[in-house]
């Protein structure tokens, strides 16, 4: 729940079954300029939350009916209330009660009789923390809005530039103008690099957000075949033998789009970093608990021990370089790991420098036959 403390006084909900305590706390906080809402039991407090925007709750621990622990848990269970700070109030300075209060979702605990300065300090501290969290959330929303603009505008413009420069490059070749050909090739390479970075940056930012994956049973071999077909022409131009090896169909629990992105990224990297004339193989075998183990193996330069320690960090360039001038952003493996983990799987790499690399993905599955989907 987003609040704007610059345009109105913070609204505090005070919950206590003792009228005297309500008056004392209400007077202390009201005199400091806060907007005070009172409730004499847990149910009334929940009704107040339903109808008013509350910035902080001061909640008595021991009350008839719903006690403070139950009320706090109910507050935390509601997405629209989950960020409201709850400070517990109690006459009992009991460590067990304090622990229970914090475990129920409270952010602080103040004992009665109240010390005015202490109470005010606790309230102002947690309101300031909430305001800071709300501000950070707003910044994140602004960033997402900017990324949306990038996705719809910048990406489209770069795609158009890429197509135009490719046509210019092809035209330069037909005119046998070496100088124009080199210039067009340089512009095309730069455009490809920029377009690749924007595309992967947007994918990484999407993965940074909620990762709302739609997990379902997916035929792994079908997804593998589609990914291999996607890079068949690119591999052919580099003289690389790209093949799906092995037999048998495996059903895994995965998000179809995320799995496609994982396979696309790993095969793209394998082709990109493999020297001309080598091979890239993708295979699958039965995994634990009815799942599958997928391998993407190349005959490229492999990874050093230093590479292995940082290969999944964002914007990290490793020692290997694309073998035909292809763009490399340093974002791909970071995205792959996030997606694999989001699907409940595991990702690791086996590699010896100079002897290629094998990326191994373990994906979960469910036992029993699954009807083939078209």
The answer to whether the beta carbons of residues 299 and 274 sit under 8 Å apart is: yes
Percent of the chain residues topping a pLDDT of 90: 34
298 to 156, 275, 313, 350, 352: CA distances (angstroms): 33, 10, 21, 11, 11
- DSSP per-residue string spanning 300-332: S----HHHHHHTTSTT---S---TT-----S-H
Listed range (101-105, 308-312, 342-346) with the worst mean pLDDT = 308-312
Give the lowest-confidence range in 30-34, 74-78, 179-183, 269-273.
179-183
Average pLDDT over residues 62-73: 92
User: Which residue bears the tokens 């997928």?
Assistant: 294
Q: Which residues of 216-247 are buried (b: 16+ CB within 10 A; e: fewer)?
A: eebbbbebbeebbeebeebbeebebebebeee
Q: Which of 287, 306, 305, 284 is nearest to 359 (CA)?
A: 284
Write down the mean pLDDT value for the chain.
82
Residue 211 pLDDT > 70:
no
In which band, very low, low, confident or very high, does the pLDDT at 160 lie, cut at 50, 70 and 90?
A: confident
What gap in Å lies between CA 123 and CA 5, rounded to an integer? 14
CATH class, domain 216-363, is: alpha beta
The CATH number of the structural domain formed by 11-114 is 3.40.50.2300
pLDDT band at 197 (very low <50, low <70, confident <90, very high): low
Residue 370: pLDDT band by 50, 70, 90 thresholds?
very low
Which helix or strand (DSSP H or E) is residue 11 part of?
A: strand 11-15
- The domain spans of the chain are 11-114, 142-208, 216-363
pLDDT at residue 9 in the model: 84
pLDDT of 86 above 60 = yes
pTM of the model: 0.51
Q: What's the chain's Rg over C-alpha atoms?
A: 29
pLDDT score of 372 more than 60 = no
**Lowest mean pLDDT: which of 159-168, 171-180, 244-253, 309-318?**
309-318
Higher pLDDT, 169 or 291: 291
């Amino acid at each position: 729940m987003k609040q704007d403390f610059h345009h109105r006084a913070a609204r505090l909900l005070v919950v206590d079954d003792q009228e005297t305590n309500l008056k004392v706390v209400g007077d202390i906080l009201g005199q400091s300029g806060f907007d005070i809402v009172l409730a004499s039991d847990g149910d009334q407090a929940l009704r107040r939350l339903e109808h008013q925007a509350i910035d902080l709750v001061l909640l008595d621990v021991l009350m008839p009916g719903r006690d403070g622990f139950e009320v706090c848990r109910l507050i935390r269970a509601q997405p629209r209330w989950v960020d409201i700070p709850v400070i517990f109030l109690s006459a009992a300075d009991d460590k067990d009660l304090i622990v229970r209060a914090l475990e129920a979702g409270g952010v602080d605990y103040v004992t009665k009789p109240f010390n005015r300065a202490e109470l005010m300090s606790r309230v102002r501290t947690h309101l300031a923390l909430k305001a800071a969290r709300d501000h950070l959330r707003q910044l994140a929303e602004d960033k997402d809005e900017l990324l949306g603009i990038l996705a719809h505008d910048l990406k489209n413009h770069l795609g158009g530039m890429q197509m135009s420069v490719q046509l210019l490059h092809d035209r330069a070749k037909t005119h046998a103008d070496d100088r124009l050909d080199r210039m067009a090739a340089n512009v095309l390479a730069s455009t490809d690099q920029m377009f690749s970075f924007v595309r992967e940056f947007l994918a990484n930012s999407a993965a940074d957000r909620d990762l709302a994956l739609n997990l379902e049973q997916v035929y792994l071999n079908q997804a593998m075949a589609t990914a291999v077909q996607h890079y068949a022409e690119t591999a052919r131009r580099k003289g690389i033998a790209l093949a799906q090896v092995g037999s048998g169909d495996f059903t895994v629990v995965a998000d179809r789009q995320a799995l496609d992105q994982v396979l696309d990224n790993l095969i793209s990297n394998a082709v990109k970093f493999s020297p001309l004339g080598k091979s890239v193989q993708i295979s699958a075998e039965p995994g634990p608990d009815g799942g599958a183990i997928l391998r993407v193996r190349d005959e490229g330069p492999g990874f050093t021990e230093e590479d292995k320690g940082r290969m999944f960090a964002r914007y990290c360039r490793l020692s290997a370089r694309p073998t035909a001038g292809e763009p490399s952003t340093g974002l791909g493996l970071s995205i792959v790991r996030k997606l694999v983990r989001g699907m409940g799987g595991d990702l690791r790499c086996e590699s010896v420098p100079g002897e290629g690399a094998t990326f191994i993905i373990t994906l979960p599955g469910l036992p029993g036959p699954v009807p083939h989907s078209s």
